Amino acid sequence: MIHIGINGFGRIGKNLWHLLLNETSICVSAVNHPMITIDLFKYMANNDTLLPHINVEIEDMDGDVLVNGRKVKLTGFNKPSEIEWEGVDVVVDCSGKFKNKEELRGHLRGDVKMVILSAPAGDDMDVVINGVSEIFEDNIISCGSCTTNCLAPVLDVIDKKFGVEFCNFLTVHAMTASQTVSDRKNIKDFRLGRNAFQNIIPTTTGASRLVKKLFPHLVGRVFGSSCRVPVENGSYLEINFKVKEDVDVESIFDALENNEIIEISDNKNVSSDIKKLDKICCIDKDLVVVYNEKTFKIGVWYNNEAGYVRQIIEFIRKNFI
């Protein structure tokens, strides 16, 4: 059994918790969230606006909790170096606060063998994207962003098969906790300070920077942007390509169908369909449009919460089981 410690019990942390509840080879044995109490944990674990009703049995156990018969240690520290990860093999940092190696290195104590950051990281950190870049040399790694996990498999396939001359992508992204329910100041990005429920908000995407790290030979040829839209979950990525080799619809699908991460659907999805599934890269058949023999677009759906978390779990499964 691989024991997981979760730092940060927000959207990604709760999805990780939820998806691992019924796993037989991986379990959550510790959760750290600033100022958390047993009563707050019980409420957060059993109640969520987006996740299915969980209704797990949670019992007090000398300051910790027993979840479906398994002990989970609860702590409420603010910094990685303060947390005691007793019996934990892998820490997944979902706090969104610590994004460099020096801060994350504080988790590497006791039995902890690896730290996984559930967010884009700096240039000094290995980025692992399932099916694209799975080589790492350090025990502190990043699983990139949800958008990167959707984009990278498609970009990798198209580049290897047809050769990418130019790529431009736009992600139409669901709201996140970095936004606000009413207008307020946001020093880093003025627009993200506007009401998330009432606006389409143009912004940047971390996927643009990560593409340079994952595909250095494509630097200067891949560009991306983002719009945040008033939906709870379920995001859409439209990727426009200009390639070196001639293509048609059949050759594009032939290339995409052989990738383990990419799924192809003829369901004519909308975002509410995707939020019910834990898909990270779901291409709609009729959203692949060839303009001429060297230019085309691909429309891809992704669950920016559970779909992304599933990729973290798969990384753990591949490397620790």
Distance between CA atoms of 90 and 132, rounded to whole angstroms?
22
CATH code for the structural domain at 2-119: 3.40.50.720
Q: What pLDDT, in 10s, does the model give residues 290-311?
A: 999 999 999 999 999 999 999 9
Q: Which helix (H) or strand (E) holds 59?
A: strand 58-61
Q: Is the pLDDT of residue 63 over 80?
A: no
| CA torsion, ordered 249, 253, 255, 260, to nearest 10 deg | 160
Average pLDDT over residues 92-110: 93
Q: Boundaries of CATH 3.40.50.720 in the chain?
A: 2-119
**Token duo for residue 83:** 């947390």
For residue 187, what pLDDT is reported?
85
Q: Where in the chain is the domain with CATH 3.30.360.10?
A: 146-304
The pLDDT of 32-38, averaged and rounded, is 92
Question: In the chain, which residue ranges form alpha helices assigned H by DSSP?
Answer: 11-20, 38-46, 101-104, 146-162, 207-214, 249-256, 271-274, 306-320
CATH classification of 146-304 is 3.30.360.10, yes or no?
yes
- Name the nearest CA neighbour of 146 among 122, 127, 121, 118: 118
Q: Is 146 a catalytic site residue?
A: yes
* Contact (Cβ atoms closer than 8 angstroms) between residue 141 and residue 126: yes
Instruction: Given the residues 27, 146, 150, 281, select the one marked as catalytic.
Output: 146
Interval 20-26 mean pLDDT: 91
Which residues sit opposite 241 in a β-bridge?
167, 296
pTM equals 0.94
List 224's β-bridge partners, or say none. Answer: 169
